[in-house]
Chain A
Amino acid sequence: MDESARPIFRRGSLSLRGPVWVLLLAAVFYLLSSPSAVFAQDWVKTGTSLGVEKVRLAVPDFKPATNDPQTASLLNTFNNTLWNDLDVSGVVELVSKSFYPLQVPGQPPEVNFLAWNAPPPNAAMLAFGNLGVAAGKLTVQGWLYDVKNTQSPEVLGKQYGDAASDAAARLMAHKFADEIIFRLGGGIPGIAETQIYFVSDRSGHKEIWAMDYDGSNQRQLTHLGSIALAPRVSPDGSRVAFSGLTKSGWEIMMYSLDLNRTVGFPHMGGTNLSPAWSADGLKLAFSSSRAGTPEIYVSDASGGNLNRMTAAKGPDVSPVWNRKTNAQIAFVSGRTGLPQIYTMGADGTNLLRMTDQGYAVSPNWAPNGQFLTFAWERKYGPGDPGALDIYLMDIASKQFVQLTHDGGRNDSPSWSPDGRHIVFQSSRSGKEEIWTMLADGTKVQQLTFTGHNTQPNWSWK
């Protein structure tokens, strides 16, 4: 190992700004075991101390407001969705339901402050409300109360209405959860309404699929009947670029989420792989072997104005733009042997090698532009079991931290727009499936269970 890449906990002077990264600091703090705890303390002090102690939030089940037969099942959907959204948010600490008083409120007058703000629940915040179906219309009322502030407790009061359906109940729970997370999580919008695009073979062919961020509402987008790979949604959420096997070989293809069909994109010739959008949505970077070996090219979003960015003999693939600055591209190159992560300016200059050993692939840039996450088989060598794990690296210092430790092959990490979550594929359950975790490696959840599911890509908003 040379000086450029070393475990992140060996240096204590990493400077971070912005509330999102406070969480990562906390993450690192968590992951650091006793030998390095001394240094870890420095880190926590560099933050704003927000998020180090999470808000204790109690979320009693919403109460039924009507006797309509649909109320019970929609209430169940709403309560489960809201709880899960808040639980995985990484922003609050949910107070276990076993600590709740027997009488829970469905309306503001029913709130007994003493029953919530003192132990055993000892909650700082209380989210409560009611849900009812009347004449086919679903209505949800929800409040967020600061139960330590009995004089003026209301932080949030919301009412939602729509035609009664399971999807509507889920959407209302997502919206209410995002309101809470926005207020308790330092003003960063929640992700409960975001989408994840991925590859699934459950139809018999690898096609592009989409799902809600929590794994619900999984649906097939493409019907190529051959192989579709590497979906990348545009920043505005209107298109998904991917690599598809056509009669003339692998070409970059485009699926319109407005028209719900593939739309034209010029064929480049050669093998064209792993498209990536620039942060402004105006450009695409991808790997093409149209001139011989697979190199990184940049084109307009329409496929015009093609420019070659690399000129190495080794295969160059999997580019990704720095989504904060839009001025850098990270990619994978096998120019020195096993694939490693590199960065370069968006104009192809200033090449930097980020990893110095093992097998490193699938980079993805954090929303704040300071961190890369990627898959790394760091101790590659004879007798190696072949386990890839997800890592996080600070690009300025090249310090890194390992996020997955649970076996299997973990690959294709992609950040959530709030920077708090990472979605990835893992074979830890026996076959490739899609999982999410907080960016500190905790709150690991499996999202897909049918067929083989790979290459997840989180929407930009």
Chain B
Amino acid sequence: MKSQSKKWFLLIIALSAVLTLGACKKKAAPPPPPPPPAPPAPTASISVTPNSIQAGQSASLTWQTSNATDVSIDGIGAVQPNGSQSVSPTDSTTYHLTAKGAGGSQEATARLTVTQAPPPPPPPAAPTVTDEDLFGQNIKDVYFDYDKSDIRADQQSSLQADAAFLSQHSNINFTIEGHCDERGSTDYNLALGDKRASAVKDALTSAGVNASRIKTISYGKEKPFCTESNEACWQQNRRGHLVYQK
């Protein structure tokens, strides 16, 4: 009698353990209880292709359900019973689909792994200043009088500084752009801009800069630095503009 009650006791424990564990476990396969008149249980599946992307890329999420009236995906919301959608999460995401119908509910999941984009290549070991930075810090543009292409006396110091810098950095090639203010004809200003660029080039070459390092181009009044119609603005636009050539 004692051993029998112990047996019962074990049986109950075992049964409840089975029930408890079974309840906790995901319904991998729907329990096949026998109720024949019940409506058919919904089915659901979801997949994502590719299942691994880099941050910033996108993947295609595809799902199918049947016998479901109410389908939703966590994080996306209610969706059509069957469908697909492009997703581009920034972090790895598990898409959890729930399909509810008269015959119960069904769930499915798909996981999208997101790897972070490879970091940009590390900057050069030491944070050195590039030639381009130095060029931008040291080179000064040369300004002109109205309708003139000769170098003004007050621009000589800029030119001498430019020539000194360029002589020290003989590996730098550069372009001189000739610019004009908005007054006068398009064609005449392009010719005038050409003369301005040449004037700066001539001044630099006579100061010892090798002509083979220099390109010239005229932009006339096509690419103004300043677009107001006053003398301050026009002066800004009458210049030889030196540009680092990569």
Chain A complexes with chain B: yes
Interface string of B220-232 (1 = CB under 8 A from A): 0010000001000
Question: Taking each of B184, B187, B194, which has the highest tally of chain A beta carbons within 10 Å of its own beta carbon?
Answer: B187
With a cutoff of 8 Å between Cβ atoms, the chain A residues found around residue B218 in the complex are 250, 271
Residue A361 contacts which of B149, B187, B193 (CB distance < 8 angstroms)?
A: B187
Which residues of A311-363 are within 8 A (CB) of B?
A: 315-318, 332, 334, 337-339, 359, 361-362
Within 8 Å of chain B (Cβ to Cβ): is A249?
Answer: yes
Is B191 a contact of A273 with CB atoms below 8 Å?
yes
CB distance from B222 to the nearest CB of A (A): 6
Q: Which secondary structure characterizes the binding site on chain A? A: strand
Within 8 Å of chain B (Cβ to Cβ): is A289?
Answer: yes
With a cutoff of 8 Å between Cβ atoms, the chain A residues found around residue B7 in the complex are none
Is B190 a contact of A455 with CB atoms below 8 Å?
no
With a cutoff of 8 Å between Cβ atoms, the chain B residues found around residue A294 in the complex are 191, 194-195
Across the interface, name the chain A residue whose C-beta is closest to B149.
A315
With a cutoff of 8 Å between Cβ atoms, the chain A residues found around residue B187 in the complex are 229-230, 243, 273-274, 287, 317-318, 332, 361-362
Within 8 Å of chain A (Cβ to Cβ): is B20?
Answer: no
With a cutoff of 8 Å between Cβ atoms, the chain B residues found around residue A214 in the complex are none
Is A230 a contact of B186 with CB atoms below 8 Å?
yes
CA–CA, A337 to B146, complex, Å? 10
Is B191 a contact of A316 with CB atoms below 8 Å?
yes
CB distance from A211 to the nearest CB of B (A): 19
Number of chain B residues close to chain A: CB under 8 A = 19
CA–CA, A317 to B192, complex, Å? 10
Residue A293 contacts which of B188, B195, B222 (CB distance < 8 angstroms)?
A: B195
Within 8 Å of chain A (Cβ to Cβ): is B183?
Answer: yes
CB distance from A72 to the nearest CB of B (A): 44
Is B185 a contact of A338 with CB atoms below 8 Å?
no
Is A315 a contact of B195 with CB atoms below 8 Å?
yes
CB distance from A277 to the nearest CB of B (A): 16
CA–CA, A289 to B202, complex, Å? 14
CB distance from A290 to the nearest CB of B (A): 11
Give 19 A-B contacts (CB < 8 Å), ordered by A residue. A229-B187, A230-B186, A271-B190, A271-B194, A271-B218, A273-B187, A274-B187, A287-B187, A289-B194, A289-B195, A317-B190, A317-B191, A332-B188, A334-B188, A337-B147, A338-B147, A339-B188, A362-B185, A362-B187
A residues engaging B (CB < 8 A)? Answer: 206, 227, 229-230, 243, 249-250, 270-271, 273-274, 287, 289, 292-294, 315-318, 332, 334, 337-339, 359, 361-362, 375, 386, 388, 411-412, 454-455
